[in-house]
Amino acid sequence: MDIILAITVGGLYAAGIYMMLRRSVVKLLIGLGLLSHAANLLIFTAGGVIRGRVPVVPAGEMQPLETIADPLPQALILTAIVISFAVLAFALVLIYRTCQTLGTDDLDQLKATDT
């Protein structure tokens, strides 16, 4: 299972970097989304994939009775999802406004507007 997740993370990173190297700003945004998904899956994989119970200790006990899932990677991924959504939403608004103003999403034509 870990090897499949590692290959998936590598594929997402490769696809994200490939999309970010394209000339279109919209493809750059898609690549940014793929990179954020790859980072989330990497955190999930590094935390260890263990099928266990919910990370709650029963009332009156000092420690869990059985194997439980680690809640830290879940909390980190939840935070990363919120942050990546905010970054993607902000980038989407910037790209939309740029395309609306200049009428193009080609990076070569956007460089010509700098002068």
State pTM to two decimals.
0.77
User: What does the pLDDT look like over 22-36, one tens digit per residue?
Assistant: 888 889 899 999 999
16-51: string of b/e by CB count within 10 Å (b at 16+)?
beebeeeeebebbbbbbbbbbbbbbbbbbbebeeee
Q: Where are the domains of the chain?
A: 2-50+68-111
Return the sign of the alpha-carbon dihedral for residues 90, 93, 95, 101: negative
Predicted local confidence at residue 60, as pLDDT:
84
Fold entry, domain 2-50+68-111: Helix Hairpins (1.10.287)
Other C-beta atoms lying within 10 Å of the C-beta of residue 64: 14
Predicted local confidence at residue 68, as pLDDT:
76
Res 55 pLDDT > 70: yes
Mean pLDDT of the chain: 86
What does the alpha-carbon distance between residue 36 and residue 30 come to, in Å, rounded to a whole number?
10
